[in-house]
Amino acid sequence: MAKADPDKEKKQRREFLKQAADMLEEMKRDLSKEMQSRVKGETEGVKDEGRDTYDLASDERDREINFILNDREREKLLAIDEALQRIKEKTYGICETCEGEIQLGRLKILPFTRLCVKCQEENEKESKRLKTLDEERGYRRLVLTDFEEEGS
Ligand SMILES: [Zn+2]
């Protein structure tokens, strides 16, 4: 009787998908809050905690935040936005590469992931391989350039 129940699993997945948008929104809020406090700290010193009254969603502030974001944060924010978009389009939780379902356990840890574990691993292997290739090519180019300069 303690067999894995596919219906139960489906139900758990549905439940999770219902919460996923809220979870992602919250992550986004946390991230921008963190960034905003950094922006505030750097541009105007200590500002009175105006909380929600400080909510000027202007382009200028977005630019400022963008400027101050490091790549990792920008990537994460982008990934969160994309995940929210996928929830709207009902493609959330589906692996972009193999179009299989992303494991629920993985989604819980990485709610903004676009790939299943298997494809993620492949992807990392591939980008490592490309990087190595790139480095080799860069090295070769360097050697070639030296050679050409000497020849002329
Ligand atoms: Zn996959």
SS (H, E, C) 79-147: HHHHHHHHHHHCCCCECCCCCCECCHHHHHHCCCCCCCHHHHHHHHHHHHHHHHHHHHHHHHHHHHHHH
> How confident is the model at residue 135, as a pLDDT?
87
Taking Cα atoms as reference points, which of 47, 82, 46 lies closest to residue 94?
A: 82
Distance 72 CA to ligand 1 centre (A): 23
Q: How confident is the model at residue 56 (pLDDT cuts 50, 70, 90)?
A: low
> How confident is the model at residue 110, as a pLDDT?
92
Distance 123 CA to ligand 1 centre (A): 10
- Is 46 a residue whose pLDDT tops 50? no
CA–CA separation, 148 vs 152, rounded Å? 6
> How confident is the model at residue 98, as a pLDDT?
97
Distance 129 CA to ligand 1 centre (A): 19
- Within 8 A by CB and 6+ apart from 61, the residues are 39
Number of H helices, E strands in the chain: 5, 0
Distance 21 CA to ligand 1 centre (A): 21
Distance 125 CA to ligand 1 centre (A): 14
Q: How confident is the model at residue 116 (pLDDT cuts 50, 70, 90)?
A: very high
- Is 145 a residue whose pLDDT tops 60? yes
Distance 20 CA to ligand 1 centre (A): 20
Contact criterion met (CB below 8 Å) for 86 and 95: no
Distance 93 CA to ligand 1 centre (A): 10
Comparing 37 with 125, the larger pLDDT belongs to: 125
Quote the DSSP letter at residue 53.
G
In the structure encoding, which two tokens stand for residue 76, read together? 């994460």
Distance 100 CA to ligand 1 centre (A): 6
Q: Is the pTM of this model over 0.85?
A: no
Distance 62 CA to ligand 1 centre (A): 34
- Is 53 a residue whose pLDDT tops 60? no
> How confident is the model at residue 61, as a pLDDT?
62
